[in-house]
Structure 1
Amino acid sequence: MLDQKVAKLINEQINKELYSAYLYLDFSIYYEDLGLDGFANWYNIQAQEERDHAMLMLQYLQNNGVKPVLDTVAKPDKELKDKLEVLKLALEHEQYVTSLINDIYEAALAVKDYRTMQFLDWFVKEQGEEEKTAEDLVKKMELFGGDAKGLYMLNSEMAARTYSAPSLTL
C-alpha cells in the first residue's frame, strides 16, 4: 500500500499533467492561428504526451490499490502574445513540473518507498529531456525566429515531429 502523502501527491500530479495538456493545446491553437502549423503540430503532440503522463500515474495508483480522485482542470491563464514568449512559458512550465516530480520523489524517499521511486525515475529522466528540448526551442527561436526563412525552417522542423507513446512498464 502506498503512503498516503505519496499517493496524494501522485493524485495531484495527475491533475497537473492534464493541466499541462490543456496549456500545450492552448499553445497549439495560438501557433495555428499564426499560420505556424509545424509549431501547432509540435504542441499537439506535447499535449498528448502530457495526457499519457497523467494516465501512467493514474494506472500506477490503481495498480497499488489507490482509487484516483479526479479534480477540475484549470483553464490556461497565460495571455499569448509573442512566438518567443510562448516558448519561454513552455520552458518555465517544464521547470515547474520538474519541481513537482522532485517533490513526489522526495516524499517517496522519506518513507523508503523504493517502488514509487523506481516508477518516478522515468519521469525524472523525461523531465530532463523536456527541459532540454524547451530550452533548445527558445535558443533556436532567438537565433532564427526573426528571419522569415529561419522561421520557415523551424516551423518545418517542428512539423516533422511524430507522436510515440511512452515505453514505461508499470
Structure 2
Amino acid sequence: MLSKTLQKALNEQIDKEFYSAHLYLSMASYAETLNLPGFAHWMKLQQREEFGHAMQIYKYVNERGGRVELGAIPQPPSDFKTPTALFEEVLNHERSITASINKLYEKAVKEKDYATQVMLHGFIEEQVEEEASASEILETLHIGGEKGPALLMLDRQLARRGQG
C-alpha cells in the first residue's frame, strides 16, 4: 500500500508526464511550421514516450492500492523562435523531469518503499539517455547552425529515429 505522501507525489509526476506529452506535441507542431518533418517526427516519438510514462505510473499507483487523481495540465508554449531554442527547451525540460524523478526517489527511500524505488530505477536510467540525446542534438545545432545543409542533414537524421 502506498503512503499518502508517495501517492500524492506519484500523482504529481503523472501530471508532469502528461504535460511533457502535451509539450512535445506542441513542439512537433512548431517543427512542422518550419517544414522540418524530422524534428516533428522526433518530437512525436517523445510525446508517445511521455504519455507511456504517465500511464506506467498510473498503472503502478493502482496496482499498489493507491488512487490516481489527475490534475490540470497547463497549456504548453507553442512558439519556440528557432530550432536551437526548441532543443534548449527540450534539454531544460528533461532536466526538470530528472530533478522531479530524483525527488520522488528520495521520498521513496525516506519512506523505505522499496517497490517504488525499483519502479523508479527505469525512469532514472531513461532520464540519463533523454538528457544526453537532447544535449547531443543541441550541440549539433550549435556547430552546424540553423540554416542550410547542416540543418537539413540533422532533420533527416532525426527522421530516422525509431527505425532500428
Question: Which TM bucket (shorter chain)?
Answer: over 0.9
Q: Which runs of 5+ in 2 are unaligned?
A: none
- Runs of 4+ off more than 4 Å: none
Tell me whether 1:113 sits opposite 2:82 in the alignment.
Answer: no
Q: Which runs of 5+ in 1 are unaligned?
A: 165-170
Looking at structure 2, the residues matched to 144 and 23 of structure 1 have their Cα atoms a distance apart, in angstroms, of 25
Q: For 1:17-68, what per-residue CA distance to the aligned partner results, in whole angstroms no more than 9, with x for missing partners?
A: 0000111111100110000000000000000000000000000001001120
Q: For 1:87-115, what per-residue CA distance to the aligned partner results, in whole angstroms no more than 9, with x for missing partners?
A: 00110000000000011100000011111
**Structure 2 partner of 1:137:** 137
Looking at structure 2, the residues matched to 10 and 145 of structure 1 have their Cα atoms a distance apart, in angstroms, of 39
Length, aligned pairs only: 164
Classify 1:160/1:146 alpha carbon distance in 2 versus 1 (closer, same or farther; 3 Å): same
Looking at structure 1, the residues matched to 47 and 103 of structure 2 have their Cα atoms a distance apart, in angstroms, of 23
Q: One-letter code of the match for 1:12? A: E
- TM-score, normalised by the number of residues in structure 2: 0.96
Classify 1:70/1:15 alpha carbon distance in 2 versus 1 (closer, same or farther; 3 Å): same
SS at match of 1:62: helix
Q: Which moved more, 1:44-53 or 1:139-148?
A: 139-148
- TM-score, normalised by the number of residues in structure 1: 0.93
Sequence identity percentage:
37
Classify 1:77/1:127 alpha carbon distance in 2 versus 1 (closer, same or farther; 3 Å): same
**Structure 1 partner of 2:99:** 99
Distance apart, 1:145 and its partner CA: 3.0
Does the aligned pair in 2 maintain the 1:11–1:69 contact within 8 Å? yes
